[in-house]
Structure formats: C-alpha cells, structure tokens
Amino acid sequence: LRDNRIELVRASWHELSISVSDVSLSDEGQYTCSLFTMPVKTSKAFLTVLGVPEKPQITGFTSPVMEGERMQLTCKTSGSKPAADIRWFKNDKEVKDVKYVKEEDATRKTFTVSSTLDFLADRSDDGAVVSCRVDHESLNSTPQIAMQVLEIHYTPLVKIISSNSWPEEGQSIILTCESKGKPVPEPVLWTKDGGELPDPERMVVNGRVLSISFLNKTDNGTYRCEAKNPIGRNSTEYVLIVHDVFNTLLPTTVIPSLTTATVTTNVALTASTTTSATATSIRDPNALAGQTGPDHALIGGIVAVVVFVTLCSIILLGRYLARHKGTYLTNEAKGAEDAPDADTAIINAEGSQVNAEEKKEYFI
C-alpha cells in the first residue's frame, strides 16, 4: 500500500496495524495481511465505505402562493451509498402521499435520491413549516433536514360577532366584524339593507366595530360587513331584530259584589239586584314595566249598577201610578151633578147620605 493517507501504526513480530485517513469510496475493497513463513500465512478482510448523503435542498417554492394553486415541492440529495431515505413533514406531522425517485450517480457507486410533495395551497397552510428529512446509516441517527416556511395569500374571511343576543328597545348593541386575510384586509365597510347607515348619530363606526345606541324598531334590518385585500373581497351579514321591552303581567283585581238597591212606594214593593264585576288588568305593550293606570273596569261596573238601579226605580214608579189612575168625587160634588145651584146641591148631598152605606166603595 503506497498512499500518503495510509500510515503504519504498529509493527512487530506479532502485530501489524495501519490507519487510513480521509476515507473515500475508492478505499473500499479487500485488504490482505500476509505473514511470510514457510508456508506463507494470510488473512483477508473486506472494507465497505458508506457514501454520506449531501445536505438536502427543497426546490419548487415561489413566494407568495395564491390559495387554490397547486404546489410541487422537491427534496433532493446526492452521494448516498446505499440510497438514502427521504421523509416529508408538515408542522411535525408526517405526510405519506409523496413520490420517491432513486438514481445512480455517474461513478455507479452512489445514488441521488429525490422526493416530490404535491398539494393544493390552502389558507390553513399559511405559515406552516414544511420539512424534508434525510435518514441514512452513515449519519449516526442524526438526520439531515431542510425546511421551508409556506406563505399563502387568500381573500379575507369575514365574521360578525354581536354583543347582545336579545336586543330590546332602548338598549345598545355592538357588532364586531372580524376579518382575516393575507395581505391584511383594508378597513371594513358597513351597510344596512344594501345602503348607507341611515342614522350616523346613533350608528357609529370605529374601525371594524359598529355601535348602535337607543335601539328602536326602525333599526331592524340586515347589516353587511365587507372586507377586501389585493386578492379579493368577501362579506357577511347579520340580521338585527329589536324586541319589545319585556313587561311583567300585573296581578288580577277582583271587584266585590255591589250592594242591593230597594225602591218603596205606598204599595210595599222591593226591587233587588246584585252585580259583580271582575276586571283583569291587561298589559299595555307601549307602557313600561311596573307602571299601573286607573282601574277602568271598576269604574265602569259602578256606573252600570247606578244606571240599572235608576231605571228600575222609574219602572216601578210608573207601574204604581198606572194602577191608581181615575177620578174621585167628594160628597158635595156628588149632589151637585144635577142641582141648578149650590143650595140645591147641598140638600141633594144630604139626602143622598141615606143610602150612603149602599154606595161605599172599597179599594183593595
């Protein structure tokens, strides 16, 4: 062996040792040690040299990539012997669906290995770390790794968040428009029912936030938030429904029975009536909770009873007068019916008293 890289380490009658520095693939082969005795004794050993793979490189990435475009990333390494193994990872999660290619180098002693990762760019891949790892027995369990950070551009993603899930009249509400995109979206645009906000004094826009104070029924409608960036634009809608103020149902009011009214004339007659009215308060949707008004049912019931008693009194009085209708003459008048003068009438009246008992009338 005549090579400057080969040195004699130890030589004796019992041992002969050499060292080889800067080992190359050409050092691979069969080595023979001979002991010149009679006969000559020899011992042989085959030296295998491993080809260390070069540091891998990732190609095929152009920044930025638009969402929906197809990406093909290729990882390549040369000089491995035997052929190295390549594995792909995305955010430390291995990707199995890849294409693997192995080729012999010109020396026909080492291999060039490549692997291709093919996928559609998605907004969820923005900022993801794609790594290519090369494993080989010559690396002593320390793989070589190449990394690439993905940059995906996509249209804004818009979402409206409400501060009040049950808005009522008189309250306020805050609508927040969350927009996420790359590049960062421009300031959002707020509209109502396809037009501008109708009441700028109550409807205040501050960046991505829309605040509406003192809600009323005129605020009902569809509010749209639109965001855009150089890639495109997107929007979302929120339907606002303002509810009536909640009123607590008032307790039921019971009117006690009214008193009996009696009307008496010369003939003892009694008219009695009893009226009972119950009034239940009805909630006024325009009134605030906790406010009460006059009890109209109670007042109406009292007026009805008074009118009814008055009518009964008039009817009873009329019936009484109708039964006593007629003409009654005194004794003097009875004698004056056929008398030519007053003296004769008196005489006739006195004379007529003889049969007075027979002309008596009785009223029952």
221: its two tokens:
């409608």
> Is there a single domain that holds both residue 40 and residue 126?
no
At residue 333, the pLDDT reads 52
At residue 188, the pLDDT reads 93
Domain boundary among 238, 258, 287: 238
DSSP code for 10: E
> Is there a single domain that holds both residue 142 and residue 158?
no
Q: What is the pLDDT of residues 293-306, one digit of tens each?
A: 557 788 888 988 99
> Is there a single domain that holds both residue 102 and residue 138?
yes
- The CATH number linked to 209 is 2.60.40.10
Work out the angle at residue 111's Cα, subtended by the Cα atoms of residues 108 and 116, and round it to the nearest 5 degrees.
Answer: 145
At residue 284, the pLDDT reads 44
Assign 93 a pLDDT band (cuts: 50, 70, 90): very high
> Is there a single domain that holds both residue 67 and residue 89?
yes
The predicted model gives 194-213 an average pLDDT of: 94
> Is there a single domain that holds both residue 64 and residue 103?
yes
> Is there a single domain that holds both residue 143 and residue 64?
yes
Assign 94 a pLDDT band (cuts: 50, 70, 90): very high
Q: Is 203 helix (H, G, I), strand (E, B) or coil?
A: strand
> Is there a single domain that holds both residue 139 and residue 100?
yes
Confidence check: pLDDT of 205 > 90: yes
Domain-located, residue 59: yes
Domain boundary among 97, 123, 149: 149
Strand order in the sheet with 111-120: 57-59, 70-80, 111-120, 99-104
Domain boundary among 124, 149, 174: 149
> Is there a single domain that holds both residue 69 and residue 140?
yes
Q: How many domains does the chain have?
A: 3
Assign 101 a pLDDT band (cuts: 50, 70, 90): very high
Q: What is the pLDDT of residues 159-185, one digit of tens each?
A: 999 999 999 999 999 999 999 999 999
Domain-located, residue 227: yes
> Is there a single domain that holds both residue 140 and residue 63?
yes
Contacts with 83 (C-beta within 8 Å, 6 or more apart), sequence order: 102, 111, 113
Q: How far apart are CA 26 and CA 51, in angstroms?
A: 11
Structural domain for 28, as ranges: 4-48
Q: What is the pLDDT of residues 17-44, one digit of tens each?
A: 999 999 988 889 999 988 888 888 899 9
Domain-located, residue 311: no
Domain-located, residue 249: no
